[in-house]
């Protein structure tokens, strides 16, 4: 049997990874400033993460959501404390798309309405409602296209108000910092206005923190820079540092009932242990303030790079936007300098999504390589 060929691949086969470094099967080491698409938060194979998962695996890997799982309760407690959202409630699933799918479904159950507002350049995943709210028609099959979704330009509160006034909107879903779209940010004033407008018109504000959450922006969640409280927060990626896990945090206004949401694997013992260990390391190593500090270093160091238009993003969710298309540069960074970076819908933008434990010396290697390539 062959693989269903949906991924364009770089010709590299990683076999081992530690911290911010990946080793391929030829023994070549690569600096990982992409984090496997913003997934690696506390660093590859962090010893605490490995030890916790090994211990849990020996004890018990899985049982279904039909019995008590004290790890889920512990995780809800610890996540509440770490994020400051102690009065929200936690539902666990397995991926970012699934988190958004559940968020949109819950918003529709809660309001009894069906229309969704999403934003230009958004990416929310590939399940049915999530992909319908994703601004990329090539990903939307005729089956997904049945959802009622209206796309608006980001940061235009007047346009949002006009749509919400129709009274048929169940959810406004947004990324405070767009990932796949290319690091455009929802302004803090816009986020506060969106929160107030959703409240006024009975719609649910869904903060998609799948990529920007778990400290990557220098706050636990990126929307917290604006001081808002969304109806639902979706999470995945850095949450499990590579263990597949996602979830939503649900505002206390929502009523739970048995059977409303559900999943076989969501919240299993290994997944909970992975997330607990991520929270422990974020706290022990103070990685969230570190992400905020490193942004300053990165911005200073980037100044004067030939062809650089701007540095976008926040914390360690960053983009270098140049006045040329970066695909060839990205290939040279990988094959000549052995540095992984990311791409985005914006063809001129290199995405930088390192582990939050990345060193200044590691980032220095990127800038040295860029200076060599661009001068
Ligand atoms: C903001 C955002 N939401 C949702 C998703 C989908 O997550 P997953 O690939 O885990 O389904 C992604 C993935 O890149 C994302 O960046």
CA distances to 2, 140, 187 from 353, in Å: 31, 26, 21
Q: Determine whether the shortest distance from the Cβ of 216 to ligand 1 is under 6 A.
A: no
**Nearest residue by C-alpha to atom 7 in ligand 1:** 96
**pLDDT tens-place values along the chain, 375 residues long:** 999 999 999 999 999 999 999 999 999 999 999 999 999 999 999 999 999 999 999 999 999 999 999 999 999 999 999 999 999 999 999 999 999 999 999 999 999 999 999 999 999 999 999 999 999 999 999 999 999 999 999 999 999 999 999 999 999 999 999 999 999 999 999 999 999 999 999 999 999 999 999 999 999 999 999 999 999 999 999 999 999 999 999 999 999 999 999 999 999 999 999 999 999 999 999 999 999 999 999 999 999 999 999 999 999 999 999 999 999 999 999 999 999 999 999 999 999 999 999 999 999 999 999 999 999
Residue 237's Cβ-count burial label (10 Å; 0-12, 13-18, 19+) is buried
Q: Determine whether the shortest distance from the Cβ of 95 to ligand 1 is under 6 A.
A: yes
The CA distance from 314 to 311, in Å, is 9
**Nearest residue by C-alpha to atom 16 in ligand 1:** 211
Q: Determine whether the shortest distance from the Cβ of 175 to ligand 1 is under 6 A.
A: yes
Query: What are the tens digits of pLDDT across the range 189-246?
Result: 999 999 999 999 999 999 999 999 999 999 999 999 999 999 999 999 999 999 999 9
In ligand 1, the atom with minimum distance to the C-alpha of 246 is 10
Q: Determine whether the shortest distance from the Cβ of 176 to ligand 1 is under 6 A.
A: no
Domain over 52-284 is classified CATH 3.40.640.10: yes
CA 35 to ligand 1 centroid distance, Å: 14
CA 124 to ligand 1 centroid distance, Å: 5
The CA distance from 309 to 322, in Å, is 5
pLDDT of the residue at 144 = 94
Report DSSP state, residue 186. Answer: -
Pocket test for ligand 1, best of 41, 97, 222, 319 (most atoms within 8 A of CB): 97
pLDDT of the residue at 56 = 98
Q: Determine whether the shortest distance from the Cβ of 211 to ligand 1 is under 6 A.
A: yes
Rg of the chain in Å (alpha carbons): 20
The CA distance from 227 to 223, in Å, is 7
Count of beta carbons in the 10 Å neighbourhood of residue 374: 13
What are the domain boundaries of the chain? 52-284
Which distant-in-sequence residues (6+ apart) come within 8 Å of 206 by Cβ?
100, 103, 104, 107, 171, 172, 173, 174, 230, 231, 232, 233, 234
Q: Determine whether the shortest distance from the Cβ of 240 to ligand 1 is under 6 A.
A: no
pLDDT of the residue at 7 = 96
Predicted model pTM: 0.98
Query: What are the tens digits of pLDDT across the range 335-366?
Result: 999 999 999 999 999 999 999 999 999 999 99
Q: Which alpha helices (H) appear in 141-213, and where do they start and end?
A: 157-164, 188-201
CA 59 to ligand 1 centroid distance, Å: 31
- Let me know the angle formed at the C-alpha of 309 by 188 and 225, rounded to the nearest 5 degrees: 15
Which residue in 99, 25, 121, 34 sits closest to 341, CA to CA?
34
Which residue in 366, 369, 356 sits closest to 38, CA to CA?
356
- Reading the block at residue 43, the tokens are 């660093």
Pocket test for ligand 1, best of 237, 243, 246, 271 (most atoms within 8 A of CB): 237
CA 368 to ligand 1 centroid distance, Å: 31
């Amino acid at each position: 049997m062959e693989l269903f060929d949906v991924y364009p691949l770089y010709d590299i086969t990683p076999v081992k990874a530690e911290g911010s470094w990946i080793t391929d099967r030829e023994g070549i080491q690569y600096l990982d400033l992409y984090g496997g698409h913003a997934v690696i938060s506390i660093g590859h194979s962090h010893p605490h993460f490995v030890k916790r998962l090994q211990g849990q695996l020996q004890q018990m890997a899985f049982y279904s959501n039909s019995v008590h799982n004290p790890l889920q309760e512990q995780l809800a407690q610890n996540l509440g404390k770490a994020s400051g959202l102690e009065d929200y409630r936690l539902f666990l699933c397995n991926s970012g798309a699934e988190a958004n799918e559940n968020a949109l479904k819950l918003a529709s159950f809660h309001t009894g309405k069906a229309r969704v507002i999403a934003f230009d350049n958004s990416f929310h995943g590939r399940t049915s409602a999530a992909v319908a709210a994703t601004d990329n028609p090539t990903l939307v099959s005729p089956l997904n296209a049945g959802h009622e979704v209206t796309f608006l330009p980001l940061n235009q509160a007047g346009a949002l108000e006009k749509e919400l006034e129709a009274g048929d909107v169940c959810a406004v879903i947004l990324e405070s910092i767009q990932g796949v779209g290319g690091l455009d940010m929802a302004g803090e004033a816009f986020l506060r206005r969106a929160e107030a407008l959703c409240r006024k018109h009975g719609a649910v504000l869904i903060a998609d923190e799948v990529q920007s959450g778990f400290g990557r922006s220098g706050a636990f969640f990126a929307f917290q820079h604006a001081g808002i409280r969304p109806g639902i927060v979706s999470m995945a990626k850095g949450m499990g540092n590579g263990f597949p896990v996602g979830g939503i945090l649900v505002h206390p206004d929502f009523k739970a009932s048995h059977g409303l949401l559900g999943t076989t694997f969501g919240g299993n013992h290994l997944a909970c242990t992975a997330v607990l260990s991520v929270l422990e390391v974020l706290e022990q190593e103070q990685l969230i303030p570190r992400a905020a500090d490193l942004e300053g270093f990165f911005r200073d160091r980037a100044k004067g790079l030939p062809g650089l238009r701007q540095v976008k993003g926040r914390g360690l969710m960053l983009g270098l936007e140049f006045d040329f298309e970066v695909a060839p540069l990205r290939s040279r960074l990988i094959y000549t300098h052995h540095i992984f970076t990311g791409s985005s819908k914006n063809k001129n933008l290199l995405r930088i999504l390192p582990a939050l434990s990345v060193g200044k010396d590691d980032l220095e290697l990127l800038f040295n390589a860029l200076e060599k390539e661009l001068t």
